[in-house]
């Protein structure tokens, strides 16, 4: 490492609140599926900013759209309409098959809004304020108080108790465990269509369909968190579309803006007409022209560049190559995932493997102590998979 890069890291540790154990590199620029540090060392990126940079780095059409909007208008507040937000909402409705959009600044904020909408829906139905939410063990929905309250990992919550309350946790992919928690106070069931931080666990189709039936019978809202697994990563625009199980409310973020901070929660018209009204929810920056210009262009590029077709083609190849590794090494106990969100589970912690890969020019991240998560830009090619496997195998040996 150069003295310049070490100096910047040392300064950062003096100035930034230490809530992240960062890798000891300073990233400077990106090109395609590669990143470069200040010393011009190249890294093949199989993390994409935790699933954000779906289009890769340096997409000229995306960059031009943002530059054009910066020269026009970046913020107005939600007291006024702006064209990028209207265009982005219309296109997002089309690909999501949902009816109403609220733009946020992050995924956690999208979850907050979804929870508020669900509780307001139940309040308008029966006038009570003691409604309960069922979430899943090992889930992750964000770090704000509401999102943390439905995150099924006690370690994340314990130092910040009490949470918002009236939240119960069921076992993912175990319908009976959900049924046991349902009562007259249940207003919503929230889950990730594919659990990400919890170890890359896709939902079981029968489980999702049973939840949908239960919610329909009891007027409970089904909230699907697609923040990480959505936006084409599964091989469908949203992972629930592979299952044919439509949510009442959906959250998304990450690749929605491909680098610009933006999220959204969407809902059916029925929920929209029977939940949040003027004054119930708001955000100063949410839906600003710059963020929505990014969403607008991202959705255009997904279509024109056939991003989902590429995911379908390359994800099968990635699965094949990861399965070959699993069959070769006894300490790899499982491969699971959906599309270009894959995980390899080991019988020991993977931090040393990830650090070794970084030293060899490959960026990987974990999903729990024992799982390596593969969440690359959606524009990767089979040759990128081959390069990644080659570097990873040298680390495994």
Whether domain 3-55+306-396 has CATH 3.30.1360.150: no
pLDDT of residue 138: 97
Q: Residue 60 is encoded by which pair of tokens?
A: 């000229």
Q: Mind listing the pLDDT tens digit for each residue in 132-148?
A: 999 999 999 999 999 99
pLDDT of residue 80: 96
pLDDT of residue 89: 98
212-217's contacts with Cβ under 8 Å and 24+ in sequence apart are 212/245, 212/246, 214/175, 214/178, 214/179, 214/182, 214/189, 215/189, 215/248
Q: Which segments of the chain are extended strands (E)?
A: 27-31, 34-37, 42-45, 100-104, 132-136, 167-170, 186-192, 194-195, 201-202, 221-225, 249-252, 263-267, 332-338, 341-346, 362-363, 365-366, 371-374
Q: Which residues contact 379 (CB under 8 A, 6 or more apart)?
A: 32, 33, 54, 55, 56, 305, 307, 310
Q: What are the residue ranges spanned by the domains of the chain?
A: 3-55+306-396, 61-304
pLDDT of residue 140: 97
pLDDT of residue 175: 98
Nearest to 152 by CA among 166, 170, 164, 165: 170
Average pLDDT score over residue span 240-267: 98
**Residue 397: is its pLDDT beyond 90?**
no
pLDDT of residue 211: 98
* 229 — pLDDT class (breaks 50, 70, 90): very high
Average pLDDT, the chain: 97
Q: Mind listing the pLDDT tens digit for each residue in 256-298?
A: 999 999 999 999 999 999 999 999 999 999 999 999 999 999 9
Q: Mind listing the pLDDT tens digit for each residue in 41-100?
A: 999 999 999 999 999 999 999 999 999 999 999 999 999 999 999 999 999 999 999 999
> What share of the chain has pLDDT > 70, as a percent?
100
Of 3-12, 110-119, 171-180, give the lowest mean pLDDT range.
3-12
pLDDT of residue 3: 86
Of 11-20, 109-118, 175-184, give the lowest mean pLDDT range.
11-20
Q: Mind listing the pLDDT tens digit for each residue in 350-389?
A: 999 999 999 999 999 999 999 999 999 999 999 999 999 9
Q: Mind listing the pLDDT tens digit for each residue in 291-349?
A: 999 999 999 999 999 999 999 999 999 999 999 999 999 999 999 999 999 999 999 99
* 250 — pLDDT class (breaks 50, 70, 90): very high
Strands 249-252 and 221-225: parallel
What CA–CA distance (Å, rounded) separates 323 from 130?
A: 47
**Residue 198: is its pLDDT beyond 90?**
yes
pLDDT of residue 336: 97
* 1 — pLDDT class (breaks 50, 70, 90): confident
pLDDT of residue 128: 95
Nearest to 243 by CA among 255, 252, 235: 235
Q: Which residues pair with 45 in a beta bridge?
A: 363
pLDDT of residue 114: 98
pLDDT of residue 2: 87
Q: Could you give the C-alpha distances from 207 to 139, 199, 230, 309, in angstroms and in order?
A: 16, 18, 19, 27
Compute the half-sphere exposure of residue 152: CA atoms within 13 Å on the CB side of its CA: 21
**Residue 36: is its pLDDT beyond 90?**
yes
What CA–CA distance (Å, rounded) separates 167 from 150?
A: 7
Q: Could you give the C-alpha distances from 141 to 76, 191, 267, 344, 353, in angstroms and in order?
A: 29, 9, 18, 22, 27
pLDDT of residue 150: 98
**Residue 208: is its pLDDT beyond 90?**
yes
DSSP state of 174: -
Q: pTM surpassing 0.85? A: yes
Which CATH number does the domain 61-304 belong to among 3.40.50.300, 3.40.640.10, 3.90.180.10, 3.10.580.10? Answer: 3.40.640.10
């Amino acid at each position: 490492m150069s003295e310049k890069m070490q100096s910047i890291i040392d300064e950062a540790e003096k100035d930034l609140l230490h809530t992240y154990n960062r890798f000891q590199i300073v990233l400077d620029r990106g090109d395609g599926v590669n990143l470069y540090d200040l010393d011009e060392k190249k890294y093949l990126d199989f993390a994409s900013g935790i699933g954000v940079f779906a289009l890769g780095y340096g997409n000229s059409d995306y960059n031009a759209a943002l530059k054009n909007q910066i020269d026009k208008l970046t913020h107005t507040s939600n007291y006024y309409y702006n064209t990028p937000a209207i265009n982005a909402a219309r296109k997002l409705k089309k690909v999501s098959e949902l009816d109403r959009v609220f733009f946020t600044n992050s995924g956690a904020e999208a979850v907050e809004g979804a929870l508020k909408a669900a509780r307001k829906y139940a309040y308008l139905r029966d006038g009570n304020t003691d409604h309960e939410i069922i979430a899943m063990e090992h889930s992750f929905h964000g770090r704000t108080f509401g999102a943390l309250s439905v995150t099924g990992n006690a370690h994340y919550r314990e130092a910040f108790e009490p949470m918002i309350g009236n939240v119960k946790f069921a076992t993912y992919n175990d319908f009976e465990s959900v049924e046991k928690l349902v009562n007259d106070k249940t207003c919503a069931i929230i889950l990730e269509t594919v659990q990400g931080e919890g170890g890359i666990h896709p939902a079981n189709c029968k489980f999702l369909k049973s939840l949908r039936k239960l919610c329909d019978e009891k007027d409970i809202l089904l909230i699907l968190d697609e923040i990480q697994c959505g936006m084409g990563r599964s091989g469908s625009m949203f992972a629930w579309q592979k299952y044919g199980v439509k949510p009442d409310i959906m959250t998304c973020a990450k690749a929605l803006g491909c680098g610009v901070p933006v999220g959204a929660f969407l809902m059916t018209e029925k929920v929209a007409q029977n939940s949040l009204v003027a004054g119930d929810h708001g955000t100063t920056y949410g839906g600003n022209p710059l963020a929505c210009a990014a969403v607008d262009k991202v959705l255009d590029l997904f279509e024109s560049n056939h991003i989902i077709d590429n995911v379908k083609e390359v994800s099968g190849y990635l699965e094949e190559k990861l399965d070959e590794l699993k069959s070769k090494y006894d300490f790899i106990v499982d491969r699971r995932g959906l599309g270009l969100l894959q995980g390899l589970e080991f019988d020991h912690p993977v931090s040393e493997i990830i650090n070794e890969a970084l030293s060899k020019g490959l960026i990987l991240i974990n999903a729990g102590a024992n799982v390596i998560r593969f969440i690359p830009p959606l524009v990767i090619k089979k040759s990128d998979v081959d390069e990644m496997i080659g570097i990873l195998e040298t680390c495994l040996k």
